[in-house]
């Protein structure tokens, strides 16, 4: 019985230490549920990227729509997986796109994410090695 109690206490202690470590990541994880902010943690491109938008007029709705999100200046990221997510003011997803970066210098990635421009509040970009 004593061995089980000790094992249970060690498991709780280990979980507590992992939770404390996650909470100390400087705001990267700030929720009781697993989550992340849109901050650069580390990456293949150390001097930053550019984000541009292509829009188009939708005559059927008489509104401007987001056509693509252009991610550029992805230096040193050739063959890395990339994911782009557009979100609204509540943090809800407007759509996402994923693919592979092609090229090492000034590489770009075009994410096709159709959404109303007025709904767009932000974009999150993840480049995986």
Q: What is the mean pLDDT of residues 65-93?
A: 92
Instruction: Look up the pTM and report it.
Output: 0.63
Cβ–Cβ under 8 Å, residues 70 and 52: yes
Which one is predicted more confidently, 57 or 29?
A: 57
As given in the structure block, the two tokens for residue 105 are: 């210098």
Residue 91 gets the label, from left (phi > 0), alpha (psi -120 to 50) or beta, of: left
Instruction: Flag whether pLDDT at 6 surpasses 70.
Output: no
Q: pLDDT tier at 15 (50, 70, 90 boundaries)?
A: very low
Query: CB-based burial of residue 116 (10 Å sphere; 0-12 exposed, 13-18 middle, 19+ buried)?
Result: middle
For 9, the domain range is: 1-30
Do residues 3 and 66 share a domain?
A: no
Q: Give the chain's domain count.
A: 2
Instruction: Flag whether pLDDT at 95 surpasses 90.
Output: yes
Instruction: Flag whether pLDDT at 25 surpasses 50.
Output: no
Query: Which pLDDT score, from 0 to 100, does residue 98 have?
Result: 94
Which one is predicted more confidently, 78 or 16?
A: 78
Query: Could you tell me if residue 88 is inside a domain?
Result: yes
Do residues 112 and 56 share a domain?
A: yes
Q: What is the mean pLDDT of residues 13-41?
A: 39
Do residues 56 and 100 share a domain?
A: yes
Share of the chain above pLDDT 70, in %: 67
| Greatest Cα-to-Cα distance within the chain, rounded to the nearest angstrom | 73
Query: Which pLDDT score, from 0 to 100, does residue 87 have?
Result: 93
Query: Could you tell me if residue 101 is inside a domain?
Result: yes
β-sheet bridge partners, residue 51: 71
């Amino acid at each position: 019985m004593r061995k089980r109690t000790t094992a249970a206490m060690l498991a709780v202690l280990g979980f507590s230490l992992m939770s404390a470590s996650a909470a100390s990541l400087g705001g990267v994880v700030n929720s009781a549920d697993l989550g992340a902010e849109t901050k650069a943690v580390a990456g293949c491109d150390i001097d930053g990227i550019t984000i541009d938008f292509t829009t188009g007029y939708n005559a059927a709705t008489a509104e401007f729509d987001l056509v693509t999100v252009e991610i550029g200046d992805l230096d040193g990221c050739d063959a890395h997986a990339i994911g782009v997510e557009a979100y609204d003011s509540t943090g809800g997803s407007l759509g996402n796109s994923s693919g592979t970066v092609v090229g090492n210098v000034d590489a770009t990635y075009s994410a096709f994410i159709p959404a109303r421009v007025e709904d767009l509040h932000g974009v999150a970009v993840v480049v995986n090695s």
